[in-house]
A = this chain, B = another copy of it.
Amino acid sequence: MKSRKLYNRIAVLRKERNISRKELAEIIGVNFQTVGYLEREEYNPSLDLAFKISEYFELPIELIFSTKPLKPLIEEIIELKNKIGEQ
């Protein structure tokens, strides 16, 4: 199966928590370069690694990873605000 390219928000989420790749890598138990590869979306994580990342950020996998390009979080927020406002 040719794997589709997946998108993720690891870099942004990591920045928001103010930790380095090295620190994140240690927590989720991979090499720090592996975090780099993931953030640059050069390859996809295994499902197990996705679960570990999801556990660390305490967010569902679907909020971190996506099959479609991810909008900046700030845009998501604006859209949600509009949606609430418009009813």
Contact residues of A with B, CB < 8 Å?
Answer: 1, 3-4, 6, 29-30, 34, 44-51, 55, 60-62, 65, 67
Contact partners of A45 in chain B: CB under 8 A: 47
Q: How many copies does the complex hold?
A: 2
Q: Please name all residues of chain B whose beta carbon is closer than 8 Å to the beta carbon of A62 when the two chains form the complex.
A: 60-61
Q: CB distance B44 to A46 under 8 Å? A: yes
Query: Given the complex, which residues of B lie within 8 Å of A65, measured CB to CB?
Result: 47, 51
Top 8 A-B residue pairs of the complex, sorted by shortest distance between their CB atoms: A3-B48, A47-B50, A61-B61, A44-B47, A1-B30, A47-B47, A4-B48, A51-B67
Contact partners of A61 in chain B: CB under 8 A: 47, 60-62
A6 to B34, CA, bound (A): 21
Give which listed residue, B3, B30, B34, contacts A46 with CB less than 8 A. B3
